[in-house]
Chain A
């Protein structure tokens, strides 16, 4: 899941991004409303965290412009102002949730997850593919009852594939949602991560779940018959 953090306090943005990355999110940051809009138009984010006070325009304007550009991802507004009219204006301008500073980081995480769960793909916090169980809430992965230990990026990749419910996922989609803007499209990072993931979840199991579809992408699916991928 990839998140855009729009926050003009560099330290605030830095630590928000750090905390979110530790919870397997790919995070980009923007300090001004203009640069945020440019990033949002180019990349496809799963969620946007938006500070109301920005140096060039206010968060309400950013939110309205996002909505008028037909970008419909959830927007969570942050503000250091704590007035009811602000809250109303925030929600009216198209924000989905509103959190006032200073906030508890765990609460922010909980609200992010609640907003992401509105996406029909993510209604259930637990995804099962045959004997593979992914608990998106606690970020635990089990295969045949045995816990699989994954790095945050590996988990993010697996979760993204699992959320596609057996559909083939292209490399571009993966780089868009699992990696942030530092991803180098000419690298073979995705292949490397797929290889590691396959090692951790499929190795030693009769039914392989992670499949490569040549020229198309990757697929996490339980097929009827065992086969060597």
Chain B
């Protein structure tokens, strides 16, 4: 549960939202607090100013310290009665209290006086009174030159009302933020589950797909969103897997057929013959010949399959040596003539290059040429000619094998390089030793050419004959 994406998504979402909300609350709170204090400070300052002006005015008008102070007391008393200005005011000379106006919520003169002695300029201080009420205090020194007296004016106001206002806001925020976060977490979890749901469905479908139902695909609700892209990616993966599985399955089916058929013929021949008692010498020879031809066919199939398996397994890289390509081709043609002469077919070799040094796998290239020559002989009738030529172009070496056979039907031309493909099944199983193949020869030839950064292709084929071309890269 704690490891699921939707849980982690929700957790992230809630943490980020909580941080934002807390910062926002703190901001609002301190903004409000600052503006309240500023307002209070403005009131305090103007009260201080009123007191200071009154002090100056009374001393000036009544000329003299004693008279002035007497009138000041009267003014302060009037202020007290009209409650204007709001804060409490105390005027001192040293430790002697001249006049006092207790504020509506003011500190008593005695309490405020404790700060007057060490306050020279305008100073704001927060004080807690004896009965635990916070006060804002401003004090200032006033010097009147005419009477050469230094007074201290102390102004204060209770912060209780402001604190109450702030604490209401605090309480609202303390309740609102958690409630908001809980709602956000719930809806976040719901949304996360909503967005993960298609992924779970995809996982379930993917889970059900195995080698038997690789044709199944994931549902793509919206091909343009992220999940659609993911599903599409998976589907393309499945398509590739399906193709490769089908090729493998087809290979297994074909290979099974090619291996079982000769076994079956040999087994039937043997069992039928053994059941016939007594068998004549001719019958025994006949059976042995059949068994031999089937065994040779089996050997050929096994060898070809081994080469193809090797081609697919990169653990067996070609053995690279240097040699003369024209020499290899010449030797292969001589080997093929042994087969062709028995069928009265002539092979002409047309070498336009001599001492053509080449680097590659000699054994594989011999096999490539032999496969093409073997096919040419197999599909030619007596008296026909086969022409083999070797030419060098700028970057390629071209070996062409031209026969005068009956050609490959157009419908078959696209498939001749496929494994186990045979143009004509009955014709390809010719005499023993003439390479009665399993339809793997051209597939092997193609692999050999590709291993030499080249290719084999059917250049042209009609009723006059076929032209196979090998192109090998050369540098």
Contacts and interface: CB of A to CB of B under 8 A. Distances in A.
Interface of A: 8-9, 11-12, 15-16, 18-19, 22, 31, 53, 55, 78, 80-83, 100-106
B457 to A, nearest CB: 26
B426 A81 contact: no
Interface stretch (B54-62, B219-227, B266-274, B360-368): B266-274
A101 B275 contact: no
Contacts of B276: 18, 22
Contacts of B273: 15
B207 interface: no
B264 interface: yes
A15 B271 CA distance: 9
Best-buried of B264, B287, B290 by chain A (most CB within 10 Å): B264
Contacts of A15: 265, 268-269, 272-273, 287, 290
Given A31-B426, A55-B426, A19 B268 contact: yes
A42 to B, nearest CB: 23
A8 B428 CA distance: 12
B257 A81 contact: yes
Best-buried of A8, A9, A53, A82 by chain B (most CB within 10 Å): A9
Contacts of A83: 253
Interface in B424-473: 424-426, 429
Interface in B378-401: none
A53 B260 CA distance: 12
A16 B290 CA distance: 13
Given A55-B425, A101-B263, A102-B263, A22 B269 contact: no
> Range of interface residues on chain B?
20 to 34
Best-buried of B265, B269, B293 by chain A (most CB within 10 Å): B265
B260 A55 contact: no
B71 to A, nearest CB: 121
Interface of B: 253, 256-258, 260-261, 263-269, 271-273, 275-276, 287, 290, 293-294, 424-426, 429
A69 to B, nearest CB: 25
B273 to A, nearest CB: 8
B272 to A, nearest CB: 3
Nearest to B249: A83
A172 to B, nearest CB: 30
Given A8-B425, A22-B276, A55-B426, A105 B268 contact: yes
Contacts of A101: 260-261, 263-264
Contact of A16 (B263, B268, B426): B268
Nearest to B268: A15
Given A55-B424, A55-B426, A105-B271, A12 B260 contact: no
Contacts of A105: 267-268, 271-272, 275
Contacts of B266: 102
A34 B256 CA distance: 25
22 contacts: A8-B426, A9-B265, A11-B269, A12-B268, A15-B272, A15-B273, A18-B276, A19-B272, A19-B275, A22-B272, A22-B275, A31-B426, A53-B257, A80-B257, A80-B258, A80-B260, A80-B261, A100-B260, A102-B263, A102-B266, A102-B268, A105-B268
Nearest to A12: B265
Contacts of B253: 81, 83
Contacts of A8: 425-426
A15 B257 CA distance: 19
B271 A80 contact: no
A72 B174 CA distance: 91
B300 to A, nearest CB: 16
Contacts of B268: 12, 15-16, 19, 102-103, 105
A9 B275 CA distance: 21
A194 B294 CA distance: 42
Contacts of B275: 19, 22, 105
B264 A80 contact: yes
Given A55-B424, A81-B253, A9 B261 contact: yes
Contacts of A100: 260
Contacts of B294: 11
9 smallest CB-CB distances across A and B, nearest first, come from A19-B272, A101-B264, A102-B264, A80-B260, A105-B271, A80-B257, A102-B263, A15-B269, A12-B265
A101 B256 CA distance: 10
Nearest to A55: B425
Nearest to A32: B426
A152 to B, nearest CB: 11
A80 B269 CA distance: 16
A147 B362 CA distance: 71
A80 B265 CA distance: 11
Nearest to A18: B272
Given A22-B272, A55-B425, 9 more contacts: A8-B426, A12-B261, A15-B290, A22-B275, A80-B256, A83-B253, A101-B263, A102-B267, A105-B275
Best-buried of A8, A19, A78, A80 by chain B (most CB within 10 Å): A80
A60 B134 CA distance: 104
B430 to A, nearest CB: 12
B264 A12 contact: yes
Contact of A11 (B256, B260, B290): B290
A74 to B, nearest CB: 20
A112 to B, nearest CB: 14
B412 to A, nearest CB: 13
Best-buried of A15, A78, A100, A105 by chain B (most CB within 10 Å): A15
Contacts of B267: 102-105
Contacts of A78: 264
Contacts of A12: 261, 264-265, 268
B434 to A, nearest CB: 16
Contacts of A19: 268, 271-272, 275
B272 A81 contact: no
